[in-house]
Each structure stands twice: as C-alpha cells, then as structure tokens.
Amino acid sequence: MFIFPKGTEAQAPVFEDYVGAGHAEGITVSVSSDYTRDGWTRNATGERTIDGGGLDAARMEASRFLAQAGLGGSPQEIEALAETLDFEGWIDWQYSLENYSAAERAYAAFDTYNSLLSTAGGAADEFHFRHFQAGLWQSALEDKDVLRQRIALAMSEIFVISSFSNLAGTGEAFASYHDMLRKHADGNFRDLLFDISLHPAMGVFLSHFKNGKTDPEANTFPDENFARELMQLFTIGLYELNPDGTEKTDADGNLIETYTPGDVRELSKVFTGLAAGGLNERGMQEGINLSWHTGRAFMDFALPMTMHDDWHEPGPKYLLGNTINGSDGLGDIEAAVDILFEHPNTGPFFAKHMIKQLVTSNPSPAYVADVAAAFADNGEGVRGDIKAVVKAVLLHEEARDCLWQNTAEHGKLRAPTLRTMHMIRALASNSEVTTPWIHYLRHFAVSLHSPYMSPSVFNFYLPDHRPNGPVADMELSAPEFEIHNSLSSIAYINQLDLATRGDRFFNSPLLNEPVAMAYEHYESKIIDTDIWINKLDVLFTHGRLSDETREILREALNEYTPNASADVRKDRTDLAVFLMMISPDYTVLK
C-alpha cells in the first residue's frame, strides 16, 4: 500500500491493483481483522479488514483527541467521534451544549449530603469547599460539555485561587469563580481579565478586596499583591517575548524585563476602592448594612465587587508607558485591563500556557506563534477570542500529526486529577456513578492534586519546571513532574489500588457501606486477554501501548483462568486497569 502526503494526490501515480480499506472489488479475502466492532469477540469476517471496519486508527485518534480536549473518552464517545474525526465540528458542537453551573451542582451535592446526614441522625452541615468539590466531580464525570470543563480547569491553574487561604471553607466563592471560568471558556480574554479583577474570590485571595487608597498620616499604601500577579502570572510575564513565545534580549544578550517596581505600585493604585457587591444569606439575616466596611463573612461571592470611589486612589496612574487619567475607579480598572490586554506579550504568554495545559510541555516556537496569531486575530479582526485560541491549540499539526508524537520533547505528564476523571469516564457508566460515591471520590486526588487546592498563587507546579535528570539535561520543561516524587507517586499507586480492586475504595460513614469502582459490563465480557489489552489501549494509551507494557499485562492476566468465577473475573479486570493506569505509557500523554 502506498500512502501519499496530504495535498499531493494529484501528482501521485494511480494503482488499480492495491488492497486497502474500501478497495476490495474482485478480491477474495481469507484473513480476519482482530475483533468485531463491539471490540469483544474475534468472529470478525475477513472483509472487515479490507473495508476498514475492523481498523482502529480512527478510534485511536478520537481517543487521543478526547484526552487533550476533554476529560478522556468513554467507549461511546470515542466511537461517535471516530465516525467522522471532525475535530473542529466536535469543538463547535461542544460549545453549543448547555453550560452547566458548578454552583448548581455544588448546592445539589450539598443538599444530598445533608439529606444523608439527617437520615444518619447527624446535624445539618454548612455549605463548604468540599461540597463545591463534590459538585465539580459530579459535573466532570456526568455532564457532556467536557471541552468547556477542560478549558475551565486549565484556566483555574493559570488564574489561580486556592482553598489554602482566607477562602478556606467558602464553597460559594469557588463555585462562583469556577462558573465564571466556564462562562469565558469561549469568551474574550479581555472580558475574562476584567471579571477576574472584580471577582470577590480573587479579591480576597490576592488582597485587593477592601484595598484602600494611600493614607500618608497612617503611613499606609495600596496592597501590591494582585497588581504584581496580574502582570507576572496572568498576562505578560516577567520578560519581553517575541511573537513565538521566545524571550527577547538586548544588545548585550540580557533578558528585558516587562515591568518595573514602579509599574507594580501604579497598578496597585488602580485596584483600590473595591468592596462587597452584595450580602450573603448570613449578612441579610444579621441585618448587616452593605458598605465599604462589610467583611468577607457577610459578602455574596456570586456578585462582583463594587467600587467605592471615596476609597479609590485619585489622580493619574502610569502603567507600562501609558497614562491612566484617574477619572473614576472602574474607569481606571477598564483602562488598566485594556493596557494589559493589548500588550504584545499577552498573546504568546497565554498561548504557551494553554498549549502546556492541553497538549505538550515543550511546544515549538512555531506552534506558540500560530496560537498567538489566533489570539491576535480570530480571522474576523477580533483579538482575544478564547474559542479561536482553543481551536488553534487543539487542531494544530503538533497536536494532531502522529509524527510529532515520536519526538522526545513532545507530550506531557497527566495530572493526577485528570487521570482519575479519565478512569471513571472511560470505565464506569453513568448509572454506576452514584451521588454518595462522588462525595468520596474527591478524596482520591485531594492528597495529590485537586482543583483549587494549590499551595500558592504559583499553582501546583511552575510552567517551566525542569526535573533533574534527562529532562533538565535536554533543557526541556515538565511542569507536572514538580508534584511527581517518591511520596506522591507511591500515594497515587496506593489510592489507585484501593479504587480498582474490590470494595475497599471509601467507606461512607453516612451509608455505612463501601463505595467502590464498578464496571461489571466489562467483567462479564472479558475472556480473551489480548482483546482486553487492545480495548484498554484504545481507551487509555491511544494506540501507543508499548510491547514491553503489553507483555507485562499479558503475563499478569494469563495467571487467571478466563472462564473462572465472577470474583476471579473481577480481580482480573481490576488488575488490568490498575497496571494500565500506573504504566508510563498511560501517565505520559503523547
């Protein structure tokens, strides 16, 4: 069979005597494809090898795309996408789906939790961060809008807020903030920056909530925390960039700083005068008067902060060579956001972050340049179109072309939370994902890596982290390896062991019964070892399962008698999933 590069068909010679998918006229077939469309039996006819029906390449491509663009694919999701491999159409379809609310999911989880508490004779709980987490997991494992969820999770690790702060225990803050990120998953970056700046969760986390103007008599000055991180971590970074994300240097070869301490001081003046935009239920019940002095305990985290001009720093501000006229507080914020949005660093800075989150830790300069170009202009003259950025990231040849997968620098370590979500979406049907189970699922990743639990605003890991050894020697980055060490890797293995092998995942004190993984629909069908391994390869490693790992799986599974009791079949299934999920073939997404 001859394969010609795309776009060269007109110059290619024409052969009438080849054998290949869709070309079998006059040919007698006496071989069989590996297994049938349902993926479980070997009674396929030989014609399926020739007509393409028995080939798995499309499934592998679909599975890999869903691992980058979503939360991993179920067999049904993989089959549906493999029918067309229309990845751009899939992105458009995903954005057309209902945007589920993290807040609604969280409050539903809260109500269920309190109902179980009441049944067990316990006192009602207060809405907490753990209920937000339960709702987040419920949505991630059941809702169809996986692209919007994936983009929101990626942005939550760029525009960081964390429960390890004054926000601890405040479920409403995180639910509202996550809904904001979901809303902007196909919005505009400029609007995202503005909403982040006014969100009370960010205001409390980076301390520009109730940030007052300069008071010379009291020797107090505006807090600089948010101003610094807005530039360093959220928009322009520390050093000037070329359009391809590489760093500029001066005539002496030195890096060029993007901003000065003076810029930080001036920007901090912009973010003064912001306070609570509304009262929560407690504030209303206690008759609190909404004012500048309203504390966070009484603040409605679902409403943007409001401007109190009496507490806003008056006068002009000077930012990155621009003058902000200082006419009013919100006008100052609008102007500052515009300056950062239009800065030449912002496009490549955001582009590189999103590529690292979704596809590969070491994108080429050309890849970054192409995505940054989509940020600069979505094709219709619009700057900052996040949907255009997402398409540029996921549809780029470095994300899709199989040749890039074979390069040493391509790929990324999957974060523990994403591995967990992938496992459940791929193996457990929705009917098996029960609400009580979700309440305890979050514990699986909490000790390793869980949304909104980073130790600081710098996230769980730095975007340019280089672990010692071959990666550092090659001057490559591998961010997720900053949380992959002897302790966390063993913890992951231990947690996965509990999740996969029987009724020992989590014991629910509310139900007094075990809560565990369940995938009986696999256990009842698995007879042939190689078919089960091939199925796992489609679901998890996207056709890249190595011969070495395949042989390890084969030897381990062949220790079990295929037609043994239900308990043995369950053990066999559990072991296969466990070994696949801890393999380097899976944990590194290529």
Among candidate residues 296, 325, 344, the one where a domain is terminated: 344
Question: Is the same domain home to 445 and 554?
Answer: yes
Which domain-ending residue is among 55, 70, 98?
Answer: 55
Domains in the chain: how many in total? 3
- Which band of pLDDT confidence, cut at 50, 70 and 90, is reported for residue 3? very low
Is residue 73 included in any domain, yes or no? no
Q: Are residues 198 and 338 in the same domain?
A: yes
Report if residue 431 sits inside a domain. yes
pLDDT band, very low/low/confident/very high, at 495 (cuts 50, 70, 90)? confident
Q: Is 233 buried (19+), middle (13-18) or exposed (0-12) by CB count in 10 A?
A: buried
Task: For residue 338, count CB atoms less than 10 angstroms from its CB and return exposed for 0-12, middle for 13-18, buried for 19 or more.
Answer: middle
Q: Write out the residue range of the structural domain in which residue 339 sits.
A: 189-344
Looking up tokens 């994403």 gives 418
Average pLDDT over residues 250-279: 98
The model scores a pTM over 0.75:
yes
Q: Which residues of 238-252 are buried (b: 16+ CB within 10 A; e: fewer)?
A: eebbbbbbeeeeeee
Q: Is 514 exposed, middle or buried (0-12, 13-18, 19+ CB in 10 A)?
A: middle
Asked whether residue 314 falls in the same domain as residue 207, the answer is: yes
Of 55, 80, 100, the last residue of a domain is: 55
pLDDT tens digit string along 13-22?
Answer: 444 555 555 5
| Residue 159 lies inside a defined structural domain of this protein | no
Q: What pLDDT shows up at residue 190?
A: 98
What is the structure's pLDDT at 563? 64
Distance, CA of 394 to CA of 410 (rounded, Å): 14
Q: 23: left (phi > 0), else alpha (psi -120 to 50), else beta?
A: beta
- Whether residues 207 and 298 share a domain: the answer is yes
Average pLDDT over residues 248-273: 98
Query: Do 428 and 287 belong together in one domain?
Result: no
355 lies in a domain?
no
- Token pair for 205: 């986390």
Helix (H, G, I), strand (E, B) or coil at 55: coil
Helix or strand run (H / E) with residue 534: helix 529-536
Cα separation values, 35 from 45, 49, 521, 552, Å = 9, 10, 18, 22
Q: Is residue 523 part of a domain?
A: yes
421 and 329 in one domain?
Answer: no
Give the per-residue pLDDT at 51. Answer: 47
Please work out, in degrees rounded to the nearest 5, the angle formed at the alpha carbon of residue 489 by the alpha carbons of 484 and 491: 125
Q: Between helices 386-395 and 189-198, what is the axis angle to 10°?
A: 120
pLDDT digits (tens, 9 = 90+) for 427-460: 865 444 454 445 455 555 555 688 999 999 999 9
Q: What is the pLDDT of residues 377-424, one digit of tens each?
A: 999 999 999 999 999 999 999 999 988 888 889 999 999 889 988 988
Answer yes or no: do 436 and 581 share one domain: yes
What is the average per-residue pLDDT within 50-61?
71
> Are residue 300 and residue 419 in the same domain, yes or no?
no
Q: What is the predicted pLDDT for the residue at 510? A: 47
In a domain, residue 376? The reply is no
- What separation, in Å, do the N-terminal and C-terminal C-alpha atoms of the chain show? 27
**How high is the mean pLDDT of the chain?**
86
The pLDDT confidence band at residue 524, using thresholds 50, 70 and 90, is: low
In a shared domain, residues 418 and 294: no
Instruction: Please give the structure tokens belonging to residue 34.
Output: 């590996």
Nearest Cα to Cα of residue 542 among 496, 586, 480, 587:
586
- Is the CA virtual torsion 356, 359, 360, 366 positive or negative? negative
pLDDT (average), residues 31-52? 47
Q: What pLDDT was estimated at residue 56?
A: 82
Contact 79, 60 (CB under 8 A): no
Quote the percentage of the chain above a pLDDT of 90.
63
| 311 and 420 fall within a common domain | no
Q: Tens of pLDDT along 465-481?
A: 999 999 999 999 999 99
- Is it the case that residue 172 has pLDDT exceeding 50? yes
C-alpha–C-alpha distance, residues 263 and 257, integer Å:
11
pLDDT value of position 513: 47
Question: Is 257 within 8 Å of 239 (Cβ atoms)?
Answer: yes
User: Does residue 392 fall inside a structural domain?
Assistant: no
Separation CA 419–CA 71 (nearest Å): 8
Looking at the structure, tell me whether residues 243 and 331 fall in a common domain: yes
* Residue 384 forms part of a structural domain: no
